[in-house]
Amino acid sequence: MRSTSVGVFKVATKGPGDVSGLISLIVSGAIDPAAILAILGKTEGNGGVNDFTREYAVAALCTALAPKLGLTPHEVEQRIAFVMSGGTEGVLSPHITVFTRAEIRSPPGISGKRLSIGMAQTRDFLPEELGRSAQIAETAKAVKAAMADAGISDPADVHFVQIKCPLLTSERVEAAAARGNKTATTSSYSSMAYSRGASALGVAVALGEVTSDIRDEDVLRRHDLFSKVASTSSGIELMHNVVIVLGNSDTSASAFEIGHAVMNDAIDAPAVVSALQSVGLEVAPQAKAGRELVNIFAKAEASPDGSVRGFRHTMLEDTDISSTRHARAAVGGLIAGLAGTGMVYVSGGAEHQGPAGGGPVAAIARLF
């Protein structure tokens, strides 16, 4: 019995502070603001430490949605999961993807599994737990809870798991030290990678992609351990993990389907094609009737060994441009070429998210 309706809306933005597109959809009745569960965005900052376009975008969205929801901006930020990924290098085009979910009574007569979305949170972590087995285990539990929330029981039906996770600050490192404990790293920047990596491994454990006996020392070292559907990003504003599971479920009456593939390296065109085909699409221009691409979600990184298929790349030695910017630009160019649009979600920093130098790529199609 289908009981859930899930919507996906891709909205172009004219700048990080632009909320006009979303508000228009709310005003027109296309989006019920109370149904908004999560917003994933690409903003046009550098994607690095001093990328303020992410928090600016979240602040603008919370301020704009507050009167629509009868909440304060701060309460909006607590209610909706905002994941902003900075960096629209090359042909990537700034936009947000809005996910809605609502209960329905009279489901339409549709067949097959459809897009479903579920969310869950871990408990707050101690600083010394970040990037270690505690974070892995708790994340795995939350992934299972989010799957249940999405009405998904089979791990094979999970196609993209977006996670927001904490990072270390000097205050947090000192708090651990005051308890006599050492953190995985003392660097804020490095802690982002540890937290992303452990969170991704939590997904891998939950979905049975790896065995659950991962040791602390495997994090950021055992590149052979990874999830094919995890996409994680760390932020300073929380001390727990927020897990968003996207998959297909027969409890959903959504007009959308999701599928995925794994890029083995940054130039893995066949994987992108495979992700498109997994939701019944082809390489652009689309030939199939009755289906259209909504968005592609992918993670990109510069391969840590300094080469792609045996050929040296220069991303890791460039002191002018960070490697994450290079990687997003290149992978974004490839995906945009195959998808026929630069308005896709390509995010950087892919520790334990797909194989080293590669990453997961998911696609959502609308059926009509």
CB contact at 8 A, 303 and 313: yes
Smallest gap from Cβ 123 to its own copies, in A, equals 28
Residue ranges in 151-254 assigned as alpha helix (H): 170-178, 188-206
Indicate the residue type of 179. Answer: R
Q: Using CB under 8 A, count the residues that bind its own copies.
A: 64
Nearest CB to its own copies, comparing residues 102 and 284: 284
164 belongs to the catalytic site: yes
* 284 contacts its own copies (rule: CB under 8 A): yes
CA diameter of the chain: 63
Query: Binding site annotation covers 325?
Result: no
Smallest gap from Cβ 100 to its own copies, in A, equals 23
Q: Which of 313, 347, 351, 359 binds its own copies (CB under 8 A)?
A: 313
CB contact at 8 A, 360 and 354: yes
Query: Binding site annotation covers 133?
Result: no
Q: Which of 20, 121, 251, 341 binds its own copies (CB under 8 A)?
A: 341
Q: Mapping DSSP to helix (H, G, I), strand (E, B) and coil, where does residue 26 land?
A: helix
Nearest CB to its own copies, comparing residues 244 and 335: 335
Cα separation, 125 vs 107, in Å, equals 40
Q: Which of 1, 29, 49, 287 binds its own copies (CB under 8 A)?
A: 49
Per-residue burial over 157-186, b if 16 or more Cβ lie within 10 Å, else e, is bbbbbbbbbbbbeeebbebbeeeeeebbbe
* 37 contacts its own copies (rule: CB under 8 A): no
141 belongs to the catalytic site: no
Which region among 99-107, 154-162, 207-215, 328-336 touches its own copies (by CB under 8 A)? 328-336
Cα separation, 135 vs 142, in Å, equals 10
User: What sign does the dihedral 285-287-288-289 (CA atoms) show?
Assistant: positive
* 266 contacts its own copies (rule: CB under 8 A): yes
* 60 contacts its own copies (rule: CB under 8 A): yes
* 327 contacts its own copies (rule: CB under 8 A): yes
Cα separation, 299 vs 361, in Å, equals 7
Smallest gap from Cβ 9 to its own copies, in A, equals 16
Binding residues for substrate, as ranges, are 54, 85-86, 196, 233-234, 328, 347-348
Catalytic residue positions? 164, 233
